[in-house]
Structure 1
């Protein structure tokens, strides 16, 4: 197995419990992939995802691979309120966890009568899209005739009173303009898209499943940070006798009799295998297979053209966390067009615009030296694949994030001890993804442009796992990719999906 990301470890644990001998080769010195941690001076920070949607994926993993359930391995808690939103006009709203009625009421109160109702109606339609796509996009291997998933938009059409007909939105942008009709609700929808590395102007309307998923299944946090989830999955793998080799970079996939038959490491060592599972991005995958296959044949490249990364600023603050502070606050951009234009261009081609900033302030003693200090994580979508150090671009962008976060963290600047700036380049260095981009989840419609490569390949014996394979990026999706790969290896062509 190549890589020790969340999807790969989920596959490894399931394969081991099915009786396979599993060895994982990881180029870095630790497990978890993008689910990483930064520590300094007694402060600790999640540098990847900070919250967990759809925890049932990992509950199922622990149920299927051992006696201890997930909740005995990590302290999993619901975040309530799910989020606080600060809009440019000064409007401030708290949205409850997993309550459509509560969200409708809060938005009607904060934004004006009718606004919450429109958001609630949108969630009802998003549920239709979820019901239509959940099985093929999360629980089943990608269909051999995957093109059909791109042909029809699963988000339902909406009656238009003036036109006396229905019309079907094809992008999140059109949902915002036609159905939400409020710049603050548009900002709410944009925030969900950007958090998954999607530009709402081009993301298909089927991406409505992302806010629905959070609404329906809640927002969860693992005490000690989401890195603790990675630790628990790693320890479950060890308990199932999975072997990990860290600091071991794979340079090629060995071919024998027309199928993948092992791995070659940097030092020339060759390890034989009956099956090879690769948890790598498409660029690295092509490099690994080019010697075994002519012109990359047999491994279909990723159709998703993701250029968005995650820019993060870690803040060490003096002074305790104020009572009643929201775990997550989203401070929305005052200039939507400028933000979206910036994220769609390579870094350095335009002056950074003030972005939509997510502020995470977990009330977690494990992340701070003592109760007289606080650790805070700021994050925003940003262009990937460029030199952020050039011309001080990274520091200027970090200043914009900190300025926005002042709306969420009282006395932020006077409390600041130090900050650590992390660009998409840090993600590239730590995960091996060349551009540092964040893989979005697989989505239906848009002619299949938002689907990822299938977990099986035309190179027999080679399987793909993790965020750059079906069903795409995000913690739940990575976990499901592991379940799908394990099912395909154990059950072969008879496997029809997770139950």
Structure 2
């Protein structure tokens, strides 16, 4: 039995801790904040409740496997998991609006044909069929196996597996195939292009630079569905924490790790703020690249993609509304920006013309049909989110900027919630600066899932490091960000520790 110190109590960290405890190890989790869950937080006020992190779960099989492998209670017996149908509504500046059914290829085709025009559904379906080839080619090396060292493995993952339809003609360009180029060439219609690119934007990916393999994101959602935890997604974090406690994982909150201890070049424990030392045989770090560099400089230097620009963050507005939720309202509606080019420039480009708040963003409106989120049926809890530039690129502590941007989200959301401002009781705002404070992630940046292609530019650091006995989990490590991917990272770390460096991945 080994002593294992885990830095952080986010989803990836807890997923690793639960699996390691079941394998017989003594696991202690050290969290700088006062609670578990990392970015999967909750805001409760006056009978209203809001998720401050992810609002939906995709690939629930990851957590089903985790709960099966760590105890008698299944995921479904630990939380009430429900499918969201329709999966999403979409509203565009020209007035086009449609809802896409959950996990129904034929239903999506019909909805797009009716709203966009004959043939639109088939073009979308053909693209999703090609994205399935991405899934088949990358599922195991990207999502079920640890990231292998060596040029051969990285060269393979650096190639984009998307079978893009090539242009014809003498002057065909040889520019890299990006998600944006695929969207324009294969979907034609600007609304379909926006639909595809919105999936990337929601994960903090720039469609102008992301490889065509990012088409796997809508494929996953359309194939495996969108799921919600009754009472709020925070319930998933609570259930995972409870599973860890049941497996005798020790949690220490308000316990900030300031250094990974080493002995004879190997990880040997952690040092806490105030000088306390906790010895361990191995250490799992589920932290951002900046924190890792401070905690273990010898590890960070040798990691691929451990640096780079800070990813975009999330701007959220939580609205307490008078009046009930109308029957048939979609759980999630995306209100698309009228000028996507301006939005992408403000979110991703270094030369931001508008100072980071003057454009009209793409807004995701979450309206769960959940009595646990509101005081009674005469009220409604609504969450608005937008992907934005990280704190630092924009000063999100500037109250004027934050207030103005919140007003823009609210104005845009009225396309999905008519009369929203007249129904408003109160609102609260969370910016990337708040995320940075809460999680410690530089700029409040939220990591995206890993993608194949672009010569490996969209990979994350592997789960092992140059310091023996130090492992990486969570969204800033392989296989990247998102609830499902965080759970996968925990499985990979546990596999490497329990079975050794020869572990070949989940079975």
TM-score band by shorter chain is over 0.9
Matches of 1:352 and 1:136, distance apart in 2: 41
1:200 aligns with 2:204: no
Aligned partner of residue 442 in structure 2, secondary structure: coil
Equivalent in the alignment of 1:19: 24
Match of 1:431 among 412, 432, 439: 439
Q: 1:111 to 1:475 in 2, by over 3 A?
A: same
Matches of 2:106 and 2:429, distance apart in 1: 38
Residue 267 of structure 1, CA deviation: 1.3
Contact 1:252–1:263 under 8 Å retained in 2? yes
Equivalent in the alignment of 2:3: none
Equivalent in the alignment of 2:161: 154
Equivalent in the alignment of 1:371: 377
CA deviation digits over 1:177-202, x for unaligned, max 9? 11111110111012101110111111
Alignment of 1:379-390 (within 5 A): 379-386=385-392, 387-390=395-398
Equivalent in the alignment of 1:358: 364
Matches of 1:242 and 1:492, distance apart in 2: 21
Aligned partner of residue 89 in structure 2, secondary structure: strand
Residue 345 of structure 1, CA deviation: 4.2
Residue 315 of structure 1, CA deviation: 0.3
Alignment of 1:75-94 (within 5 A): 75-94=80-99
Equivalent in the alignment of 1:324: 328
Residue 388 of structure 1, CA deviation: 1.4
Equivalent in the alignment of 1:448: 456
Residue 176 of structure 1, CA deviation: 1.1
Equivalent in the alignment of 1:278: 285
Matches of 1:203 and 1:77, distance apart in 2: 31
CA deviation digits over 1:350-373, x for unaligned, max 9? 542101100000011111111111
Aligned partner of residue 22 in structure 1, secondary structure: strand
Q: What runs of 5+ residues in structure 2 fail to find an aligned partner?
A: 1-5
Aligned partner of residue 82 in structure 2, secondary structure: strand
Q: 1:427 to 1:247 in 2, by over 3 A?
A: same
CA deviation digits over 1:145-174, x for unaligned, max 9? 342144321101315466799989621110
Equivalent in the alignment of 2:46: 41
Aligned partner of residue 29 in structure 2, secondary structure: strand
- Larger mean CA deviation between 298-307 and 317-326 belongs to 298-307
Residue 62 of structure 1, CA deviation: 0.3
1:29 aligns with 2:34: yes
Matched residues, number: 496
Matches of 1:163 and 1:147, distance apart in 2: 33
Matches of 2:391 and 2:156, distance apart in 1: 29
CA deviation digits over 1:31-86, x for unaligned, max 9? 00000001111110001000000000000000000111100000000000000100
Match of 1:136 among 118, 125, 141: 141
1:488 aligns with 2:492: no
Q: 1:108 to 1:163 in 2, by over 3 A?
A: farther
Equivalent in the alignment of 1:190: 197
CA deviation digits over 1:401-441, x for unaligned, max 9? 10111011121011000111111111101101121001011
Match of 1:240 among 240, 247, 271: 247
Aligned partner of residue 395 in structure 1, secondary structure: helix
Match of 1:59 among 45, 49, 64: 64
State the TM-score, normalizing by the size of structure 2.
Answer: 0.95
Aligned partner of residue 452 in structure 2, secondary structure: coil
1:413 aligns with 2:421: yes
Contact 2:313–2:445 under 8 Å retained in 1? yes
Q: 1:7 to 1:246 in 2, by over 3 A?
A: same
Contact 2:310–2:442 under 8 Å retained in 1? no
Q: 1:289 to 1:165 in 2, by over 3 A?
A: closer
Computed over aligned residues only, the root mean square deviation of the Cα atoms, in angstroms, reads: 1.8
Match of 1:302 among 300, 306, 312: 306
Match of 1:124 among 120, 125, 129: 129
Aligned partner of residue 227 in structure 2, secondary structure: strand
Contact 1:157–1:168 under 8 Å retained in 2? no
Contact 1:14–1:64 under 8 Å retained in 2? yes
Matches of 2:96 and 2:50, distance apart in 1: 29
Match of 2:430 among 412, 415, 422: 422
Match of 2:319 among 315, 320, 343: 315
Matches of 2:499 and 2:367, distance apart in 1: 44
Contact 1:344–1:383 under 8 Å retained in 2? yes
Matches of 1:303 and 1:389, distance apart in 2: 24
Match of 2:410 among 402, 407, 421: 402
Residue 289 of structure 1, CA deviation: 1.1
Matches of 1:306 and 1:413, distance apart in 2: 34
Q: 1:173 to 1:95 in 2, by over 3 A?
A: same
State the TM-score, normalizing by the size of structure 1.
Answer: 0.96
- Larger mean CA deviation between 245-254 and 186-195 belongs to 186-195
Q: What runs of 5+ residues in structure 1 fail to find an aligned partner?
A: none
Matches of 1:373 and 1:184, distance apart in 2: 33
